[in-house]
Structure 1
Amino acid sequence: MSSWRDRLKSGLPRLAVVAHDLAMVWVVWQALHRLRWGIEVNAPAIPLWSAEIALVLAAQGLVFWQVGLYRGLWRFAGVPDLWNILKASVLGLFAIVLGLFLYNRLGTVPRTVLVLYPLVLMGMLGAPRLLYRAWKDSRVESASKSSVRILILGAGHAGEALVRDLRRSGAYQPVGFLDDAVRLRGSKVQGVPVLGRVQDVAEIARETAAKLLVIAMPSADANALQRVVVSCERTGLPFRMVPKLQDVLEGRSLPGELKEVAIEDLLGRKPVLPDWKAIRGWLGARSVLVTGAGGSIGSELCRQCARHGARRITLIEVDELALTTTEAALKRDFPDVEYISVLGDCGDPAVIAHALKRAEPDAVFHAAAYKQVPLLELQLREAVRNNSLATETVAHACCLADVGTFVLISTDKAVDPVNVLGATKRLAEMACQALAGQFATRFVTVRFGNVLDSAGSVVPLFREQIRAGGPVTVTDPEVTRFFMTIPEACQLILQASALGTHEAIYTLDMGEPVPIRLLAEQMIRLAGKHPGRDIAIVYTGLRPGEKLHETLFHADERYRQTTHPKILQAEPRDVTAAHLESSIAQLREASSRYDLELLNNLLRMAVPEFQPVGTHPDYRESATVVAFPARNARKV
């Protein structure tokens, strides 16, 4: 009984709207007839109700319903609703004409009534809706007099939509727009005036007593956004920004949400747009296995696979808390996907064999690795065991299990390695390359640079140092790195996996490298501080195993464009499988005995290009950046 009453109660407003619209049809029909016949001396009597009027109401009411006039709400009536009303009025006229023609050959309806009917009806239906919305908006505006005063930077479509959302919420009061477009100067957008240029934000914010700045420029590039942020920082006021459409569509931001300006918004490189059709075509309905599934890359890779059609995801992780947390988040966000969790070290042959037997995967993403450069310089045995030997174990097990695709997550540090991390990841690449020539499994290696906000990366370190009041420690004023976001890195992995080559090394055209000094300064500014004044930047010198500049391709790796314009493919260098198998076996033996001296010698023999920092008289002069096809090689 209660559910019936609830449905009746919820349906009453819509019934009232239907009754209002049909009453307006009756009023218009009566008024037009009386207007037409009022000028005649011997005008016929006009009844208040007749079979003809009943037919008109039935025909017009049916058109209203079919056009979908009652799916919208008066509270949000706008131009689309007026267009819908005009369409319903015109179509209703045709329905009425047809019905009356069949009823009485239109013998009693003046042509003037038929001509004026849709226009007058549109006004009678649209005016109450717009008046109701204006009344509701005025109530919200009057209630928001004591709300937060907001100055909006950008008077385009995003700014206009933002004003509508803010007025509905009632918690914020837009006091003005700032925009550099001369044609908008002095105009109003949604009743809010355009007060001046973006660079004048400090002065205008004082004049308007604004308490919050909102950047409504989702399509602005990084350079333009940097200038806007600098202007906002001068005001001393907090500022937020409207998220980009891509972030909303991919679930990283909510519609209408105001987010803080993130460091990735200011780094100067447009994100790479993947070919989602190709990715879903390759990934759809597949079973995939991810090692290191609890890490920054592994967990996001699981989310991307779940989002884009994988039917089963197997997670291998040695950290029990990370495994539990990742699995719980996946089940919450993607409940329709089947999940298999395996706690253990993927380098243990029994663990990987058990996982492959349970999962029967079509593709394996090997993300498990140690990656902290200075730490691994002092932990050679674990670096070799986890980064190289475990990779060979997993890859070989995948070949024996007839896995279709094996994807190795590598790093730009594997190119001309000068540290243990780079050398062990390069050896992992070589191990995969040796297996690719012996088995049907397709091997894909994906290299990329530093990943923003990944565990142990420089961004969380800087953020913590800024929170503590500084100083922010940068190794060298000239050091540069390539950067990408975690979601972008995982999209690159999936995109490269979908390209279809049997054996290849892929990397992203990441544009120009970013100076770490600039990264630190931007993060300090985003925290509302001034570099050098509020937060000091201290240069500590390059740490053990660190380069000034990273590279993405070896000089002997011939690279070419792929079907994706931002992904490049390198031809793997020749590897002697027998020699590599012997090196791997010797490394396993030395690892089992924890013989660090032998491990060091064997690693240098297996990876001849490995030259630890310090072997050159002046490493700064010897570092070379290998250019992408569109650029010339240059010294740095």
Structure 2
Amino acid sequence: MIFFLLSDTLISLFTLYLAYNLRFNFTVPTDFLDNFLNIFFVILILKIIIFIFFRLYRTAWRFFSLHEVKKILLAHIIVYSVFTIILILFREDMMPFARSIIVIDFMLSLVFITLLRLSKRIILESGKESNYKNTLIIGANSSINRLLNDKKNIEYTPVAIVDKSKNLINTYIFNLKIYSFDDLEKVILNKSIEAAIISKEYPQEELINIFEVLNKSGIKDIKIVNTLSSNQSTKKQLKDISVEDLLARHPKDLDTNKIESFIKDKVVLITGAGGSIGSEISRQCKKFDAKQLILLDHSEYNLYQICEELSDFDVVPVMQTVRKIEYLESTFTKYKPDIVIHAAAYKHVPLVEDNILEGISNNIIGTKNCIDMAIKHNVEKFVLISTDKAVRPTNVMGTTKRICELYAQNVDSKNTEIVAVRFGNVLGSSGSVIPKFRSQIQKGENITVTHPDITRYFMLIPEACELVLQAGAIAKGGEIFILDMGEPIKIVDLAKKMIDLSGRDNIEIEFCGLRPGEKLYEELLINDSDKKTQYESITVASSTKFNIDELNKKIEELLLKDDKLSILKEIVPEFNHKKNN
């Protein structure tokens, strides 16, 4: 900015002096030079103010194009128009002055200031500095120019654009030719592409195909445009493409109006509020204008983090375990929640296998306590977060969650509508494979996968949580909703993509065998008698009847008797315990 300010000052001084000389054939009368500096400073101040207004000092001039020329022209028209008005209003103070100098100076200033900026781009491009990367823009997007003007993105110099729209092929944006997607590999080769920026949203299959072509061509620096939204504004920034981007499924039937009508002006109690799901549910409830958030978690650190993040909202931190019903009683009595979203649970399969009593106590007893308190205190709606591991479970964790579903469906709920929402893995949640693989890659270690054929369902945390709230909004009580997770993904393919994204070729995949209780693949339905809802992304599983008195009796036995696996099997006959080595 300082460079161009100084340059514009010198150019303005030079062009004005030259304009005087051209007007008087290089013999300027002395009395006309008496107020030369006054005229100069007025024009200079006007230029600086108008140029700043048009953000001409915040442009990365290596992207100088016709768009910037238009801005310079418009700025000059305004500057010299305003100066003409000043000249008329303060004629006596400006005299003597020849009005034709305005026209001459306008033309000279426009040409020289434009040439300065154009020359800067030419020098930068001809210099071939190693700091700049020949960059391919994927998707013709007029907003990408503003993004690349950011100093943080200074290393990326776009040299070509590819787009799938036939109407745009062989046209130009920012002086860059637009090529067909079919020519992607050819453009990469001919233009010596070193980096790529994906500027538009593409369906999952297309995005994966684009990534694979880029990766195959040896391009490791791949960015996408990330949109950051807040209550005040929407901001775009570049970020490295991640495996979450490649695997994310964005539901097309998300009904934010329905969610808002469910959450707005309600007191919402969220258990497990500091966990991956609970914290995102908390953010969503803030976004949809809850009246107050009661955030309950037994982890001091997790609770502190989410409360700090939402410190500008009406948040009540409750450091409490769901196992203690007398503690929950005081919380429900004090805060009187309208909605309870129960996300507190032990979810890691191997840990629960090694700590069966704790898994039963936290998952089953904790859920039962929360449901019982919700019913007792006339909570409008109770939403239980469940898992695909509850379907024909092969491990203790999945079985405890299935028992929670049975309790939710069969308890006498009185005035409380109780619903369970079942989905698969969420991308990037704590303890999931993605953070684990990422950590192994950063350490330079080989990635460990349990089995070459193991598959899992995946969904982004925000999308999963929004659908949870949407399911809660349409619930009438007693349902188990199932979120559409798309097609299951092979974990070995996930690992390969993460290695490709890392750009490291010294990392391999090792198979270490299935862990205790682990399935090769997960299911979302116990049988095929599911029903469609008004939303394609949400279906309803058929209900399972279970005598509630018998269920309560069996839950008591789980706490008292040693042979807990047998009792789990009695409650959930489809439980087929896998003791893998």
TM range (shorter): 0.7 to 0.9
How far apart are the structure 2 equivalents of 1:582 and 1:481?
A: 34
Which residue among 193, 205, 210 is the counterpart of 2:177? 193
How far apart are the structure 2 equivalents of 1:129 and 1:240?
A: 41
Contact 1:279 1:498 in 2 (8 A): yes
What is the identity, as a one-letter code, of the residue corresponding to 2:330? H
What is the identity, as a one-letter code, of the residue corresponding to 1:427? I
Q: Relative to 1, partners in 2 of residues 1:257 and 1:131: Cα closer, same or farther, differing over 3 Å? A: farther
Contact 1:137 1:167 in 2 (8 A): no
Q: Give the SS at the match of 1:370.
A: coil
User: Does 2:195 align with 1:212?
Assistant: yes
Q: Residues 16-415 of structure 1 correspond to what in structure 2 (within 5 A)?
A: 73=54, 75=56, 138=118, 141=121, 148-156=132-140, 158=141, 160-167=142-149, 169=151, 171=154, 172-179=156-163, 186-194=170-178, 197-200=183-186, 202-206=188-192, 211-216=194-199, 218-243=200-225, 247-249=227-229, 255-267=235-247, 269-331=249-311, 335=312, 337-415=313-391
How far apart are the structure 2 equivalents of 1:414 and 1:485?
A: 20
Q: Relative to 1, partners in 2 of residues 1:601 and 1:168: Cα closer, same or farther, differing over 3 Å? A: closer
In the other structure, the counterpart of 1:612 is 577
Which residue among 487, 508, 512 is the counterpart of 1:536? 508
How far apart are the structure 2 equivalents of 1:132 and 1:367?
A: 65
How far apart are the structure 1 equivalents of 2:402 and 2:110?
A: 67
Q: Residues 576-587 of structure 1 correspond to what in structure 2 (within 5 A)?
A: 576-587=547-558
How far apart are the structure 2 equivalents of 1:458 and 1:418?
A: 19
User: Does 2:398 align with 1:422?
Assistant: yes
Deviations along 1:429-475, one digit per CA (max 9) or x if unpaired, are: 1122222x342211010000011110110111111111222311111
Deviations along 1:50-76, one digit per CA (max 9) or x if unpaired, are: xxxxxxxxxxxxxxxxxxx99974749
In the other structure, the counterpart of 2:545 is 574
- Paired-residue identity, %: 32
Contact 1:74 1:133 in 2 (8 A): no
How far apart are the structure 2 equivalents of 1:554 and 1:186?
A: 54
How far apart are the structure 2 equivalents of 1:133 and 1:304?
A: 50
Which residue among 426, 439, 446 is the counterpart of 2:421? 446
Q: Relative to 1, partners in 2 of residues 1:128 and 1:255: Cα closer, same or farther, differing over 3 Å? A: farther
Contact 1:242 1:256 in 2 (8 A): no
Which deviates more, 187-196 or 567-576? 187-196
Contact 1:180 1:198 in 2 (8 A): no
Contact 2:270 2:342 in 1 (8 A): yes
How far apart are the structure 2 equivalents of 1:558 and 1:257?
A: 45
Q: Relative to 1, partners in 2 of residues 1:392 and 1:410: Cα closer, same or farther, differing over 3 Å? A: same
How far apart are the structure 1 equivalents of 2:115 and 2:337?
A: 60
Contact 1:140 1:168 in 2 (8 A): no
What is the identity, as a one-letter code, of the residue corresponding to 2:174? Q
In the other structure, the counterpart of 1:498 is 473
Q: Residues 510-589 of structure 1 correspond to what in structure 2 (within 5 A)?
A: 510-530=485-505, 534-555=506-527, 558-588=529-559
User: Does 2:441 align with 1:466?
Assistant: yes
Question: How far did 1:182 drift?
Answer: 6.5
How far apart are the structure 2 equivalents of 1:385 and 1:548?
A: 27
Contact 1:140 1:167 in 2 (8 A): no
How far apart are the structure 1 equivalents of 2:55 and 2:384?
A: 55
Unaligned residue ranges in structure 1 (runs of 5+): 1-68, 86-126, 616-636
How far apart are the structure 2 equivalents of 1:517 and 1:504?
A: 34
Question: How far did 1:233 drift?
Answer: 2.3
Q: CA RMSD in A?
A: 3.3
Question: How far did 1:355 drift?
Answer: 1.7
What is the identity, as a one-letter code, of the residue corresponding to 1:510? M
Question: How far did 1:152 drift?
Answer: 2.2
Which deviates more, 141-150 or 230-239? 141-150
In the other structure, the counterpart of 1:598 is 563
Contact 2:419 2:472 in 1 (8 A): yes
Contact 1:153 1:198 in 2 (8 A): no
Question: How far did 1:542 drift?
Answer: 1.4
Q: Relative to 1, partners in 2 of residues 1:176 and 1:586: Cα closer, same or farther, differing over 3 Å? A: same
Question: How far did 1:177 drift?
Answer: 2.5
How far apart are the structure 2 equivalents of 1:599 and 1:363?
A: 33
What is the identity, as a one-letter code, of the residue corresponding to 1:580? L
Q: Relative to 1, partners in 2 of residues 1:423 and 1:166: Cα closer, same or farther, differing over 3 Å? A: same
Question: How far did 1:277 drift?
Answer: 0.4
Q: Give the SS at the match of 2:340.
A: strand
Q: Give the SS at the match of 1:351.
A: helix
Corresponding residue pairs, total: 480
Contact 1:407 1:444 in 2 (8 A): yes
Unaligned residue ranges in structure 2 (runs of 5+): 1-49, 60-65, 75-106
Higher relative contact order (CA 8 A, sep 6+): 2
User: Does 2:465 align with 1:479?
Assistant: no
Question: How far did 1:395 drift?
Answer: 0.8
TM norm structure 1:
0.69
TM norm structure 2:
0.75
What is the identity, as a one-letter code, of the residue corresponding to 1:562? T
Q: Relative to 1, partners in 2 of residues 1:168 and 1:541: Cα closer, same or farther, differing over 3 Å? A: closer
